[in-house]
Amino acid sequence: MNIFRFIADLLHLTSFFILIFKIRKSMNVVGLSYKSKELYLVVFLLRYLDLFLYFVSFYNTIMKILYISLTAYLIYIIRFRRPYCLTYDSQNDSFPHLKFIYPGAALVTLISLDYSNIGLFEICWTYSIWLESLAILPQLHMIQQTKECENITGHYMASLGFYRFFYILNWIYVYYYTEKIQWISTLGGILQTALYSDFLYVYLKSQGRKIEI
Amino acid sequence: SKSKYKKDEL
């Protein structure tokens, strides 16, 4: 554990609480993509299958359980909890996200380099890395449809975007001291941050004013 | 070995 990874994890955790705060305060879920949340739930459920395989640390275990449960809770609020779910904008949450869930899974299974002893978990983990890198697309699509996004939604998306950026700093740090590199997570993280970069640029430039896309 | 595949990141 180093400071970059710790900041990254806290940013990630913060993004959930910003979102819960936004929904409670505004009493609506306008501008939020349910589909992105659904993808994140698949990501966490697949990646954290290792909760049943081995123990790393209390910190990791608690974070994993929080990521899964907070994502499930937000899905419940956005789609099923009244009155919030009545304001869900399904018209603009129109990204065809299911179209890359299945081809992606097939692709990862096919290009796995280490068939012999990789095991099902390794394939699930790899897939979760790539799926996470794309999971924000429905949310980005949504704010592009509406051409603007509320400040607090912007804070939520920015903390979610900067979290992976700080993981990149963490990987650079780890590589510098140990010369170890995990290519899949590093490349997935770079792709993920790149997809956010446009938004993060606009976010930083807006400096708290209304974010227009 | 099993530890080779142990993931310590989130």
Q: Quick check: A56 and B6 CB within 8 A?
A: yes
In our burial notation (b when 16+ CB lie closer than 10 A, e otherwise), range A135-171 reads bbbbbbbbbebeeebbebbbbbbbbbbbbbbbbbebb
Q: Quick check: B5 and A121 CB within 8 A?
A: yes
Residue B10 has its nearest CB partner, among A54, A60, A122, at A60
Q: Which ipTM was obtained for this model? A: 0.81
CB contact B1 to A (< 8 Å): no
Q: Tell me the pLDDT band of A118, cut-offs 50, 70 and 90.
A: low
**Residue pLDDT, tens place only, A81-105:** 999 999 999 999 999 998 878 887 8
**Residue pLDDT, tens place only, A138-182:** 999 999 998 888 899 999 999 999 999 999 999 999 999 999 999
Q: Quick check: B10 and A12 CB within 8 A?
A: yes
pLDDT higher than 90, residue B4: no
Q: Quick check: A56 and B5 CB within 8 A?
A: no
Q: Which residue has the tokens 């879920």?
A: A29
Q: Name the more confident of A111 and A87.
A: A87
pLDDT higher than 80, residue A73: yes
Residue A63 has its nearest CB partner, among B5, B6, B10, at B10
Residue of A139, A31, A33, A39 whose CA lies nearest to A98: A39
Q: Quick check: B7 and A119 CB within 8 A?
A: no
By C-alpha distance, the chain A residue nearest B3 is A54
pLDDT higher than 60, residue A115: no
Q: Tell me the pLDDT band of B1, cut-offs 50, 70 and 90.
A: very low
A174: three-class secondary structure by DSSP: helix
**Residue pLDDT, tens place only, A25-64:** 999 999 999 999 999 999 999 999 999 988 999 999 999 9
Please give the helix or strand (H or E) that residue A178 lies within, else none. Answer: helix A151-178
Beta bridge pairs of residue A149? A211
Task: Give how far B8 is from chain A: nearest CA, Å.
Answer: 6
Which residues of chain B have a CB within 8 Å of the CB of A50? 6-7
